[in-house]
Each structure stands twice: as C-alpha cells, then as structure tokens.
C-alpha cells in the first residue's frame, strides 16, 4: 500500500480516425508521415527531407496520441551548451470503451514506452530509435523503442530500456510528431475484435514513472517547491510525499468504415472558404508588426488606408502607442522598429564601481568621482574583460568552423568510399584536409585551455561564480590598497551585437489554436478530486480484462485504488460528457461548465477531450527561389546596387548577373512552429484601451475588428507568425538539421556549437576549372554572405502532429490565378528608379516577371555574422582610450556656449570651469580671451584641453575665420529648432540665460564584427588563419545625427583630425553659410566604414540629446553623455555675462578673509542672482577685477559714493547651484 500522494496531471489525448476515405483524401490531406533513419552516417540527419519525401499514409484504425505536460517537454540549457530534459513517464495504460452507451465493453493495453529492442519484425507498436553503442563509444546504434502489450497477455518487463525524455534520441519533435513515437506516446488501435460500420469509442490514457529516480515529484524538496518548479498547480500542496500520475481521455471518437468525419468534427481548415477562396493565405514581412499592417490593409483598405492608422497599429504592437504622439514619439518608434528587425547577440561586459541599490527595484548608482586606484583597476580589468570576451567569441566561431570541417571530412570520407572516377582525387583531398582538421582541433583545444586560465573575474558566467570572484577580488584590493574599494566592482553587459532576423511568414486561416501551450500554471488534482458522479448519478466502471494485474504492474508507488478511481471518472464522463454538476470522490460537488474557476473542474476538463479529427500544425516547410542582388554591380565594381536611402538601403541597380543569365538559388527549410508563433498576437490589439488611452474611437473600433478577424471565432488566435528559420544561414551554405552528436573527441570541444552544418557536399560532375586545387573536385554548397535580394516561395506547407499536411501555396493553380501573398512594406521590392513611390520592381532575369512580381519579397543588405556599430566616447585626453562608463569624466572634451548676440563662443572645461571666450576682434580676426591658466592658446596645441584647442584652432586657422564663426553660430541656431528643450533639472535658471551649452565629445565609430567572418565551406577558407571573406571589404556609410528626432542633439561633427570643416546635420539657409567651414554631412563621402574599421569623430552636440549613428545594416546606435556628469558640470559651471552700461554705486561690504577675520571692501552694487556656492566678480575692460554685491530696491542715500556706469563682464566662479 502506497503512502504517497498521487498528483494527477492532465494530459491532452487526441485520436486520429483513419478509414479508406481519410487515407485517400489527398485533396484535403496531403499525408506527410515519415520516420527517422538512424542507420546513416552520424554527420547526416536521421530526419528525411520532407520536400522530397514520398507520401506515406496511416493505417486504418484509430491512432491515439497523448501530449506530455509542458514541464516534461521543456529542456534546460546548460552552460556547456547542452540542453537537458526531464525524464518522462514510461508506463502508460490505455483503456478503450466501445459498444453501445449502456453496455460498454472495455479493452486495455499497457504501453512500455522505454522498452528498447533490436529491430523486431513487427513495427506496429514501436518506433525507430538510437542509443550510443556503449558508454565509451558514442557512435549511435539503431534500435527500436516502445512496446504495446494487451493487458490480457503476459506483462513482462522490458529486457532493455532507454532513459526516456521528450526528445527521445535527440529529435525535438519526438514526443509531438506521432509517427516518431508510436508505442511510446501513441498507440495504434486497429479496432480488431470490433464490428460494425460505425463504432463509438472512448480512450483513457494513464501514465506513471517506472521508478522513483525519474519522477520529478519524488525528488528532494517540499511539495510546494516541487510543484512550483514544474508549474503544476495544487492548492494547497499536499503534505506528504508525492508521485506523478498523468491522465487524460478522449471521448466520443466515431470511427466509420466509409466517409470522412463530419464537418463539425474536423479541426483542420477547409480547403476553401464558403466564398470559394483558399482558406489559408500567407504574407511575408520583416517583423510581425509590419506583417500585421499588410494584413490589416488588405482586410479593410478603406479604414486602414486612412491617416496614419497603420503606423499606430504598428506602434501598438511595439507597445509604443501611448507615447507615439509625443513630439519625439514617432522618432522613438522608428528607432524601436529598426531594432526589432535584428536579433541581439551578447556583446561582452564592462566593469564599473557601483554603490549598492538604495531600495529594492532601484538600480545601483555608479560611484563618482572615482579615486585613481579604482580607475586604474577598471582600466586594467576592462581591458582584460574585453580581451577575454573577444577570445570567447573568436573561439565560438572557430568551434563552428571546426565542426564544419569535421563534417566536411566525414562527408568526404563517405564520398571517397563510393566507387567513382574521381575517387583518387577525393582520397588525396582527404589526406590533405585531415591534418588540417587535426590542427584546427588542436587550436580549439588550446584556445579552450587558454580561456579556462583567464582570471575568474572575467571568466565567470553564472551569478554565483561572479559573486564569488568579485568577493575574492574585493578582498585582494582591500589588502592591496589598505582600504575598502569605493563601491563594489560590478559587471554589466555591453551593447549587443546584432544579426539580421529571418523573414517572417504570416499564415492566416491555418487553425493553429491547438498550438497554444499549457497554461503557465497547469491545474492538477489529488485522487479525492477525481470525478465520481455526474449530475448525481454514478456510473459503475466497466473494467477491462486483466485489470486485476494492474497493482502488480504499477507496484507500490501509487495507491492501488487509484486506477479504479481514474477509471470511474473515465466511465462517468464517457456516459455524461456534458454534465451540469459533478461530484468528486471526496463527495464535494462543483458546477461543470466552461471557464469554471474551480481548479478541479479545470483540470478534469483539460484532461478530457471531446473528440474531433485532430489538427495541430507542427512544422512549416518551405522552398524558395532567391535572386541575389549583390552590393556591387556584377560587372562594374565601382557601382553599387544598393544606395543608402533616407530610411533604409534602396535598390538602385541590377541583379547578380546580366538579364537572363543568372539562375535563382534554392533556399529551403523547415521551421518548428512554436506556441508563441500564435500566442498573444492579437492580445495586445485587444488591450488597446489600457495600453494607449485616448485613441480615436474609430481607430479603436478598427483595431477591435482586426483582432477579431485575426483570431478564430472559437479558440484563440488563428494567425501563425513564423520566421523562416535558417534562411540567412542557408545563403552561406549552412543549415540546421537534427543531427547526432559528433564523437566525444569532437563534441567535447564544441560546447554545443554544432547547430549549423554544411548543407551539402557533392563530387563534381565536370572537370573543375582549376583541377590542381584538390578541393575543387567537390562542390560545396553555394555561398552568398551578403543577404540582399529578392525571393519567392515555390512551395510551402504545414505538417501536423499526425503527419497531416496542408499546402499553403497551391502549385496546381496557375501562377496568374494564384492569390497574391500579403507583403509588408519592408519586403516590397524597391522601385529601381527613384521618385516612383508606388512601383515594386522585380529582378528581371526570370521568366514571366510581371506575373510573379507580386510574389516577390525584397530583402535589404544584411551581414551574415553578428556585428556591432560601436559608437563610444573616447577619452578627451587620449584617442586610444575608450571612455566607457568607468572613466566617464573623460567623455566630455569641453563645453562650448555659443552667444547668439555677440557671435562669440564661451569655452569651459569638462567640469564647467571657464576657460575663455572666442570672439571676433574689431580687426576682423578671432581672438581667444583666456580666463584660466589651463586655457588653450590660439595657434598652439594644448595638453590640458587638446580637443578644444584643435576645435578653436580649426576655426582660427581659416582665412575667413570670423565668417566661419558666424556660420558656426548660425548652424547651431538652425539645428536647435529640432533639439528637444532643456531638461527641467538642468541647473540654475540664471544659467539658462547664459545660453545653451554644447558639449564637445571625441568619439569612435567602429563597425565591429563579433569574431572572424563567416567563410565559404572550403577547407582552405575554413582553416585560414585568420579566415577572410570578401564582404569584409565592403564599406558602409554611417550617418551621424538626425534632423527628424527631437531627442537627437548633434549639431555637427569633425571627421578624424580635420577640424577645418564641420559636417552639420543641417546647414542653415537663413542666412546661408558664407564659408565652407560648415558643410552638410554627406551620406556617402565621409565616415564610411568597412567591417572592423573604426573612425574618430569630434561631436558638437547638445548634452541632453543623444547622438544617433545610422548605418541601415544595423540598428541605429545612440551615444549619450552620462547625465550625472552633465548635471554635475552644469551645476558648477562658470558663467560670464557681458553687462553694460550698468549703473551702480560702490558700497562697503564685509568679506571673509580667513577663518574668523572679516574685512570691509567696497564693491559695485548690481542686481545679482543668489547662489549658494560660487562668487561673482566684475571684470573691467582692462582685465582688472572688482568685487560686486547684490542690491535691492531700498534707498540708501550715500552722497559720499556717487552713482556711475560700468561696462564689463560679470563673472561667476564655481557655479550656480540653485538655492
């Protein structure tokens, strides 16, 4: 007798009814059932290519399939790159009820899911499987898994068994795709022993673990913790020990000898709608948001074509609609949209000292100012970290190449075994490549060892490791410095690298609701919660023959009464599928209705399916033709096919060959549809009122209609949005297929980096052009690293869990009559000639271009590897030093305050100290009045303020310097219109009257690849050190600043070391520039960068705005100055006002001249702002200074001191701190 509490976890059970009509209904169902083949070479995929597969139809009968709970299907990614899965129940009882409702007959089977066998003759109750040959030899040996035994027969335990998980032998769809798991998670009932043309059947499935080692509820931990970890909801958690029981039923299965299931019993979408239109339509976009836009416009053109509703619809999907209408909302949305078209990749780390968070949820603050020791430590540590991060990335790319080369060698060996004429060449090549592979493996090995030796601080990956390493370092520093470090060293991520997202396919009408996953909290039950009566009536369960053997089979892990209780519920709900009220085993009752809040009812309903012929889309299989549009013209390398447009690259050239000469490339793949492909797509649309209040009512109504249109009427969403996974990699010759792990000697060095392998390698069919190069005797897959071009989808179909297939593009229909796919703006082909906003031109070297132009999707240039547009301030003192957060007090080179009245520039040091004023002299030259010993001298370099000196000298050196200065001030005036207003907390109100300070920042633009390039799959290229790729030499313009965004603060920039020309975001036109000092920033003359190149620029910008760097091949980067630093400088900024004529009198004031001594001096009385710190003084025209004092309106009649006038400078030292 078991003392454990069985937790009954609901599983969904589906049953496929197959008769002759179903099997042969090729119009509706395009059968796509296949099984893996583990007998091939290990570097090849055991899964066949669904595009080339012969039709394989199911057998007559009923196939019952049960879906494991989500917690048992999800894997956990380990730090070694390997995903691990929980064990699953390996014993399943299946009970079938048949016969008339009042006289049900019961039959039962025991499924031994983990039963391993060496290929038995009968394949009807098992599936192909593979296990490692032995503990030491990871080579796979083909086996069969699963066994179904009638409960009436002998129930022997399996001789061999596998450690069973949801992915079985490493197939992600193992537990979901029924043909893979026959006899494991599914069972075929051939209905033998039953008679009649119409058979009404019900099935109960109950599963349990064969031993406690596997059962997650039998692990250590409190019941509540264990349940929480699995997302299984029991409230309250039971007190004792627990065991897992999975249970589910499908009732009302109708098998008929002829004919298809009734229409209402069919889940799959119809072939055509009532209107005769194809039921399934598709569209393509760069993201879901723009795809939905295209669908919306197609759905209600008159509504969505108006105003900026489509933009709002996109903003809503990005969650930006609530701020979309703010002044900078559109620009922010634009940036965000740009970002969603890329995927981030970890960008390494940066260190800083921070104080601990002051309150929960509040971020910790950086320590400022930082003592020199800390700064030195940071400089060193950040350099180490940077080196380490780069080495990690380099290793990852090298591991990829190593796997690719290993695969190459495997394939080459296979090819070399085949008899052929070129076999000697292949063998020779093999001899050449194998040592290279060995070398590469050795290199990876030594790289890994090297990395393992890195300091724990930089190497740490888990939070625990990091905390430990930091603690150790703090202790070390404390000893070294003899004091506690200021704050705690903290590691934060650096900006990520980005890689292009794959094109997104949107499929409408595919009835994908079943894809939706288990809820985050799956309701579970205890035996007392099982249904005992329906509407007060109990139904005595009919027990199948052999039932009494069950306790022996199950053992004492579960209470012996449990199977009876489960069977009672089954019998009850089989008889009363729609009760009003149910009574549970513990005699409590509950209402039975949809949406019940009662956990027990929800659990019971989840585990009880009313039968319909099931349809659960699982895979999207696609086959496309791709027409590359290279960056440069195919015959004229000085011409680019792609032009840097205002918002994106636009096609302004030709294809990859002369018309009619090029051939399209095939791109194909299959994507596993995930729940989130359909999940929540329309939810956000429905939430519009909460997310963005105040929208126009007709817009809100239109969104509501659209949301309804995109959801199926019954259960959730009917829109699949799925990326064409592997598209981008396919172009470089790689693809991701399920493959066996390489032998341990290789796999052990890969850290899981063997997702992608070469697509193919075939012997040549003709003598190669350069036969002396051995690798030319085999043909690697084609390689187009720059993803830029157009594609059309040739075939596309969905495959469901039972292998039911459904074409999305009906190739039988003539192209001219085929429905046009919806195209999002981002994938509509460009007009080849500018100024035609409504044209979409096709690459013309194909037949019937006009006919299938509407089926073409446009892809703009994207690089094949993760790249980061580095845009960081460098130290104001040293161009070679990046001013990351740690040394942020070096970010600002100087402050410049243009004076609009006097056309002069006040210049301040980074901390706000006044250095001097540049102004025209009456003689028509520029003079710099130095007001501080550190101030630069015109015409000379400066060590204290090198960049300010260069800036001033750049102006000064011009022969038209005075006019150039006027142009500069006018440019600032011009661009200020579109720089957001001052921030409210930006200092003393009086300071605003001084003018708006600009910052001078030295910055580096860097087009930084994550690691070595992605190269063609040739041994010579894979083993080159460093490997190179042609795309590395392409140069990409980077545009700085934006005239469209109020948050962009750039006025202009100086390129490299040329301070003689300011490249302005916008040149003024009233008045127009008088000199060539200010030029418009040109998009493709300067600041072009090739991969790996960097460029220094000096930015003149508003301190509160960021500065955008736009490349169109990456998300726009924004450089902004540390706001604390800005506030700090503004607070203590010196101010100088030109004042005069000012009237006043000299009056005695007393001033502190020591700790306790005060002296009386006479000071000039003038109205003065009250400041907390800082002192005012008057600077006379002869540079003498005079104390000043504030005055009020009270009359002081002092005949001895006469009123007089003064003209000069009112100077505030040490800043305006508001009082």
Partner 1 sequence: MTGTAAAGTLTFSDNLTPSAPRGTYSITVAQKLPPGLGGTNPTGLVQTVQVTGLRLHLGEQEVHGAYPPPGSCGPVQTLLPHIAFERRVLPWETRLDWKAGDSENKKRPWLALLLFTKGELVDDPEAAGLTTQGTAGELLVDAKDPLRLPTFTPALTDAEKATPVHTIRVTKDVFAALAPLATEVAHLAHVRGPLPGETSAIGLQDEERYDKDEDNEATRRATEYSFVVANRLPYPGPKGAPYVAHLVSLEGHTEMFDNPGSLTKDIRLLSLYSWSFTSSPQGEASFSELRRNLTREASDTADRTREFLLRHPQPATTGTDDFTRHVRYRLANGWIPLAHDNGVPDDFAWYRGPLVPYKVTAPSETDAKYGAADLSYAVARELGRALVLADQEMAAALGAYLDRAHGGLAQACRVIAPLLDPALLDPDLAARPRDTGDRADLRRAVDDLLTGADDRWRAAFDRVACGEPVHRHGAVLTSPAPSSRPHDGPLTDQQTIQILREQDLASHHSAPALLDLMKTLLARDDILDAIAEHTLGGTDPAEPKIIRWLDRLRRLEQVPFDHLVPHTAMLPPESLRIFRVDTVWLDALTEGAFRAAERSRLDRRALDALRAGYRARAAAPPKAGVLIRSRLVSAYPRTEVVVSKSQADGSKDARGRVLRRDRIAPDVLLCLFDGLPARIELHEPMHGLHLGVFEDLGRTYIGLRSLVEDTGDGVKVGQSLKGKLAEARVEVPFRRTSGPGAHTIKINQAGAGLAALVWDKLTAKYRPPGGSAAGPGDLALQMVQSPEKATLTITGS
Within 623-652, the residues that bind partner 1 by CB under 8 A are 645-648
* C-alpha–C-alpha distance, residues 911 and 934, integer Å: 13
Closer to partner 1 at the Cβ: 1154 or 1199? 1199
Contact range with partner 1 by CB under 8 A, out of 141-149, 290-298, 426-434, 957-965: 290-298
Please report the DSSP string for 1003-1056 in residue order: EEEEEEESSSPP--S-HHHHH-SS---GGGG-EEE-EE--SS-TTB-EEEEEET
Per rule CB under 8 A, is residue 341 in the interface with partner 1?
A: yes
Which is nearer to partner 1, 212 or 698 (by Cβ)? 698
Candidate list 307, 493, 637, 1148; residue touching partner 1; CB under 8 A: 307
How far is CA 1050 from each of CA 1103, 1109, 1113, 1139, rounded to the nearest angstrom? 9, 10, 21, 30
Label the pairing between strands 83-85 and 75-77: antiparallel
415: left (phi over 0), alpha (psi -120 to 50) or beta: alpha
Per DSSP (E only), the strands in 26-179 are 61-67, 75-77, 83-85, 91-98, 105-117, 127-132, 140-150, 160-161
Which residues in the 564-593 window bind partner 1 by CB under 8 A?
Answer: none
792 binds partner 1 (CB under 8 A): no
State in angstroms the smallest separation of the CB of 974 from partner 1: 7
Task: For residue 651, give every residue at least 6 positions away whose Cβ sits within 8 Å of its Cβ, in sequence order, or none.
Answer: 629, 641, 642, 643, 829, 830, 832, 841, 858
Residue 824 binds partner 1, judged by CB under 8 A: yes
What phi, psi does 534 have (nearest 5°)?
A: -115, 125
* Site membership for partner 1, residue 337 (CB under 8 A): yes
Cα 734 to chain centroid distance, Å, stands at: 21
Our finding on whether 1136 is near partner 1 (CB under 8 A) is no
Binding to partner 1 by residue 816, rule CB under 8 A?
no
The residues that bridge with 364 in the sheet, in sequence order, are none
Residues 1180-1199 that bind partner 1 (CB under 8 A): 1180-1182, 1190-1199
Binding segment toward partner 1, per CB under 8 A, in 543-551, 661-669, 737-745, 1039-1047: 1039-1047
- Residue 1043 touches partner 1, criterion: CB under 8 A: yes
- C-beta of 871: minimal distance to partner 1 in Å? 19
Considering beta carbons, is residue 597 or 1195 the nearer one to partner 1?
1195
Residue 1161 near partner 1 by CB under 8 A: no
Could you say whether residue 1219 binds partner 1 (CB under 8 A)? yes
Near partner 1 in 926-985, by CB under 8 A? 973-978, 980-982, 984
DSSP 8-state code for residue 741? P
Please report which helix (H) or strand (E) contains residue 671, including its range.
Answer: strand 665-672
Alpha carbon distance 952, 926 (integer Å): 10
Find the shortest distance in angstroms from Cβ 917 to partner 1: 16
Distance of alpha carbon 844 from alpha carbon 841, whole angstroms: 8
Residues of span 407-446 touching partner 1 by CB under 8 A = none
Q: Is 1044 in the site for partner 1 (CB under 8 A)?
A: yes
Q: How near is the Cβ of 1086 to partner 1 at its closest, in Å?
A: 15
- Give the separation between CA 382 and CA 384, rounded to whole angstroms: 5
- In three-state form (DSSP H/G/I as H, E/B as E, the rest C), the secondary structure along 942-998 is CCCCHHHHHHHHHHHCCCCHHHHHHHHHHHHHHHHCCCCCCCCCCCCHHHHHHCCCE
721 touches partner 1 by CB under 8 A? no
Answer yes or no whether residue 1076 interacts with partner 1 by CB under 8 A.
Answer: no
Kindly state the number of chain residues that form the binding site for partner 1, as judged by CB under 8 A. Answer: 121
Which secondary structure element, helix H or strand E, spans residue 477, and what is its range? Answer: helix 463-481
Q: State which of residues 15, 333, 506, 750 lies at the interface with partner 1 (CB under 8 A).
A: 333
250, 828, 949, 1121: residue in contact with partner 1 (rule CB under 8 A) = 828
Single residue of 144, 243, 670, 1066 touching partner 1 by CB under 8 A: 1066
Residue owning tokens 């980077």: 1038
| Site for partner 1 contains 294 (CB under 8 A) | yes
605 binds partner 1 (CB under 8 A): no
- By CB under 8 A, residue 988 contacts partner 1: yes
CB of 969 to partner 1, least distance (A): 10
CB of 1146 to partner 1, least distance (A): 11
Instruction: Show Cβ contacts of residue 1197 under 8 Å, excluding neighbours closer than 6 positions.
Output: none
- Does position 852 interact with partner 1 (CB under 8 A)? The reply is no
Minimal distance in Å, beta carbon 264 to partner 1?
Answer: 33
Structure tokens that stand for 843 in this block: 């690459």
**Shortest CA distance to 853 belongs to which of 895, 821, 825?**
821
Among 334, 382, 711, 1120, binds partner 1 (CB under 8 A): 334
Phi/psi region, residue 287 (left: phi>0; alpha: psi -120 to 50; beta: rest), is beta
> For partner 1, which is the closer residue by CB, 415 or 905?
905
Query: What's the rounded Cα separation, in Å, for the pair 886 and 1125?
Result: 12
To partner 1, the closest distance from the beta carbon of 984 in angstroms equals 8
Does position 1130 interact with partner 1 (CB under 8 A)? The reply is no
Two tokens, residue 387: 């080196």
Q: Which of 305, 319, 555, 637 binds partner 1 (CB under 8 A)?
A: 305
Residue 823 lies near partner 1 (rule: CB under 8 A): yes
Window contacting partner 1 (CB under 8 A); options: 111-119, 560-568, 959-967, 1069-1077: 1069-1077
* Distant-in-sequence, close-in-space partners of 772: CB < 8 Å, separation ≥ 6: none
Contacts of partner 1 in 1197-1216 (CB under 8 A) = 1197-1199, 1202-1208
Pick out residues in 879-908 that bind partner 1 (CB under 8 A).
900
Q: Which stretch binds partner 1 (CB under 8 A): 172-180, 464-472, 597-605, 695-703?
A: 695-703
The residue among 65, 72, 88 whose CA lies nearest residue 208 is: 88
Does 821 engage in binding with partner 1 (CB under 8 A)?
Answer: no
C-beta separation of 28 from 21 below 8 A: no
Q: Which is nearer to partner 1, 169 or 1165 (CB)?
A: 1165
Pick between residue 57 and residue 1147 the one whose CB is nearest to partner 1: 1147
Stretch that binds partner 1, among 11-19, 154-162, 311-319, 998-1006 (CB under 8 A): 311-319
Give the separation between CA 50 and CA 564, rounded to whole angstroms. 44
Least Å distance between CB 639 and partner 1?
A: 19
Q: How far is the CB of 978 from partner 1 (least distance, A)?
A: 5
Closest contact distance (angstroms) between CB of 1070 and partner 1 is: 8
Q: Exactly one of 696, 773, 941, 1159 binds partner 1 (CB under 8 A); which one?
A: 696
Task: Considering only CA atoms, give the Rg of the chain.
Answer: 37
Nearest distance from residue 903's CB to partner 1, in Å? 12
Q: Which of residues 663-692 bind partner 1 (CB under 8 A)?
A: 692
92 burial via Cβ count (<10 Å: 0-12, 13-18, 19+): buried
Q: With binding defined as CB under 8 A, does residue 992 bind partner 1? A: yes
Instruction: For the CB of residue 1066, give the shortest distance to partner 1 in the complex, in Å.
Output: 6
With respect to partner 1, which residue has the nearer C-beta, 420 or 1198?
Answer: 1198
Q: Is residue 875 close enough to count as binding partner 1 by CB under 8 A?
A: no
- Decide: 798 and 808 in contact? Cβ < 8 Å: yes
CB of 1047 to partner 1, least distance (A): 10
Measured from the CB atom, the residue of 660 and 983 that comes closer to partner 1 is: 983
Q: Where are the beta strands (DSSP E) in 820-925?
A: 822-823, 857-862, 867-873, 892-899, 904-908, 914-920
CB atoms near residue 574 (< 10 Å): 24
Q: How many CB atoms lie within 10 A of CB 1181?
A: 10
């Amino acid at each position: 007798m078991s003392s454990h509490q069985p937790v009954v976890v609901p599983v969904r059970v589906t049953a496929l009814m197959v008769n002759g009509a179903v099997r042969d209904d090729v119009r509706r169902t395009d059968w796509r059932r296949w099984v893996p083949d583990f007998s091939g070479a290990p570097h090849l995929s055991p899964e066949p290519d669904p595009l080339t597969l012969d039709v394989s139809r199911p057998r007559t009968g009923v196939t019952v399939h049960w879906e494991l709970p989500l917690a048992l299907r999800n894997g956990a990614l380990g730090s070694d790159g390997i995903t691990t899965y929980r064990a699953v129940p390996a014993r399943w009882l299946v009970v079938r009820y048949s016969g008339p409702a009042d006289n049900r007959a019961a039959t039962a089977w025991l499924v031994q899911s983990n039963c391993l066998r060496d290929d038995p003759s009968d394949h009807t109750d098992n599936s192909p499987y593979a296990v490692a040959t032995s503990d030491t030899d990871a080579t796979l040996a083909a086996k069969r898994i699963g066994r179904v035994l009638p409960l009436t027969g002998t129930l022997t335990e399996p001789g061999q068994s596998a450690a069973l998980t949801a992915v079985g032998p490493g197939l992600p769809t193992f537990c979901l795709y029924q043909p893979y798991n026959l006899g494991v998670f599914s069972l075929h009932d051939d209905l033998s022993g039953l008679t009649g043309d119409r058979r009404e059947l019900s099935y109960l499935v109950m599963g349990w673990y064969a031993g406690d080692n596997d059962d997650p509820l039998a692990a250590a931990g409190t019941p509540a913790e264990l349940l929480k970890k699995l997302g299984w909801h029991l409230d309250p958690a039971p007190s004792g020990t627990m065991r897992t029981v999975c249970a589910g039923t499908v009732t009302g299965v109708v098998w008929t000898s002829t004919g298809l299931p009734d229409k209402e019993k069919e889940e799959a979408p119809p072939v055509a709608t009532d209107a005769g239109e194809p039921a399934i339509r598709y569209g393509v976009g760069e993201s879901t948001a723009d795809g939905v836009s295209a669908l919306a416009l197609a759905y209600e053109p008159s509504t969505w074509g108006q105003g900026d509703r489509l933009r709002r619809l996109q903003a809503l999907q990005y969650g930006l609609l609530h701020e979309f209408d703010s002044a900078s909302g559109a620009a922010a949305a634009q940036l965000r949209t740009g970002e969603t078209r890329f995927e981030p990749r970890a960008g390494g780390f940066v260190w800083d000292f921070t104080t601990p968070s002051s309150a929960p949820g509040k971020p910790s603050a950086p320590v400022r100012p930082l003592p020199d020791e800390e700064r030195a430590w940071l400089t060193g540590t950040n350099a180490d970290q940077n080196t380490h991060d780069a080495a990690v990335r380099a290793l990852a790319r090298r591991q990829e190449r190593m796997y690719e080369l290993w695969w190459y060698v495997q394939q080459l060996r296979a090819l070399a075994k085949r008899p052929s004429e070129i076999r000697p060449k292949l063998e020779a090549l093999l001899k050449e490549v194998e040592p290279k592979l060995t070398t590469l493996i050795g290199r990876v090995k030594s790289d890994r060892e090297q990395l393992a030796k890195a300091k724990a601080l930089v190497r740490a990956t888990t939070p625990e490791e990091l905390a430990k390493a930091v603690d150790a370092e703090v202790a070390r520093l404390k000893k070294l410095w003899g004091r506690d470090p200021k704050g705690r060293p903290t590691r934060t991520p650096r900006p990520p690298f980005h890689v292009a997202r794959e094109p997104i396919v949107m499929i409408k009408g595919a009835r994908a609701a079943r894809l939706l996953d288990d809820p985050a909290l799956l309701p579970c039950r205890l035996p007392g919660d099982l249904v005992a009566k329906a509407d007060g009536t109990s139904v005595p369960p009919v027990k199948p023959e052999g039932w009494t053997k069950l306790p022996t089979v199950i053992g004492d892990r579960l209470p012996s009464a449990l199977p009876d209780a489960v069977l009672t519920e089954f019998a009850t709900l089989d008889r009363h599928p729609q009760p009003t009220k149910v009574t549970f085993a513990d005699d409590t009752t509950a209402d039975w209705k949809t949406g019940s809040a009662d956990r027990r009812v929800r659990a019971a309903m989840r585990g009880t399916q009313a039968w319909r012929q099931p349809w659960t889309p699982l895979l999207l299989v696609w086959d496309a033709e791709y027409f590359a549009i290279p960056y440069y013209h195919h015959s004229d390398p000085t011409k680019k096919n792609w032009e840097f447009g205002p918002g994106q690259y636009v096609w302004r050239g030709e294809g990859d060959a002369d018309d009619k000469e090029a051939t399209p490339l095939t791109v194909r793949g299959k994507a596993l549809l995930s729940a989130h492909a359909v999940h929540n797509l329309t939810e956000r649309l429905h939430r519009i009122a909460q997310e963005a209040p105040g929208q126009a009512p007709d817009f809100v109504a239109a969104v509501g209609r659209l949301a309804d249109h995109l959801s199926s009427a019954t259960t959730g969403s009917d829109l699949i949005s799925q990326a064409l996974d592997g598209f981008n990699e396919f172009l470089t010759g790689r693809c991701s297929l399920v493959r066996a792990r390489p032998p341990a000697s290789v796999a052990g060095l890969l850290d899981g980096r063997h997702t992608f392998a070469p697509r193919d390698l075939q012997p040549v069919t003709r003598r190669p052009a350069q036969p002396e190069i051995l690798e030319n005797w085999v043909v690697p897959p084609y390689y187009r690293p720059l993803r830029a071009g157009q594609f059309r989808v040739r075939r596309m179909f969905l495959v469901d869990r039972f292998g039911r297939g459904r074409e999305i593009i009906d190739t039988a229909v003539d192209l001219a009559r085929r429905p046009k796919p919806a195209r999002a703006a981002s994938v509509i082909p460009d007009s080849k000639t500018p100024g035609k906003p409504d044209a979409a031109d096709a690459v013309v070297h194909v037949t019937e271009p006009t006919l299938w132009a509407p089926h073409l999707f446009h892809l703009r240039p994207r690089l094949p590897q993760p790249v980061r547009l580095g845009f960081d301030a460098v130290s104001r003192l040293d161009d070679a030093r990046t001013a990351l957060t740690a040394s942020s007090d070096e970010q600002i080179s100087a402050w410049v305050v243009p004076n609009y009245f006097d056309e002069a520039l006040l210049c301040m040091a980074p901390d706000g100290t006044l250095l001097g004023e540049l102004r025209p002299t009456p003689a028509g030259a520029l003079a710099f009045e130095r007001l501080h010993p550190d101030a630069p001298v015109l015409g000379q370099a400066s060590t204290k303020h090198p960049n300010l000196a260069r800036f001033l000298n750049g102006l000064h050196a011009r022969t038209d310097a005075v006019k150039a200065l006027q142009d500069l001030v006018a440019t600032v005036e011009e661009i200020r219109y579109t720089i957001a207003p001052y921030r409210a907390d930006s200092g003393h109100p009086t300071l605003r009257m001084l003018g708006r300070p600009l910052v001078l920042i030295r910055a580096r633009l860097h087009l930084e690849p994550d690691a070595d390039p992605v190269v063609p799959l040739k041994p010579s290229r894979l083993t080159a050190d460093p490997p190179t790729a042609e795309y590395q030499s392409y140069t990409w313009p980077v545009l700085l600043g934006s005239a469209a965004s109020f948050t962009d603060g750039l006025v202009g920039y100086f390129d490299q070391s040329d301070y003689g020309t300011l490249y302005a975001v916008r040149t003024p036109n009233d008045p127009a520039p008088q000199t060539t000092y200010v030029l418009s920033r040109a998009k493709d003359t300067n600041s072009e960068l090739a991969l790996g190149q960097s460029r220094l620029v000096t930015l003149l910008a508003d301190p509160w705005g960021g500065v955008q760097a736009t490349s169109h091949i990456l998300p726009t980067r924004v450089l902004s100055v540390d706001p604390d630093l800005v506030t700090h400088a503004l607070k203590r900024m010196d101010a100088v006002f030109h004042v005069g004529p000012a009237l006043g009198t000299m009056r005695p004031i007393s001033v502190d001249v020591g700790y306790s001594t005060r002296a009386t001096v006479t000071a000039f009385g003038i109205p003065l702002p009250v400041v907390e710190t800082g002192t005012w003084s008057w600077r006379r025209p002869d540079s003498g200074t005079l104390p000043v004092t504030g005055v009020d309106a009270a009359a002081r009649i002092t005949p001895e001191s006469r009123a007089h006038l003064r003209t000069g400078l009112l100077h505030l030292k040490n800043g305006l701190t508001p009082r």
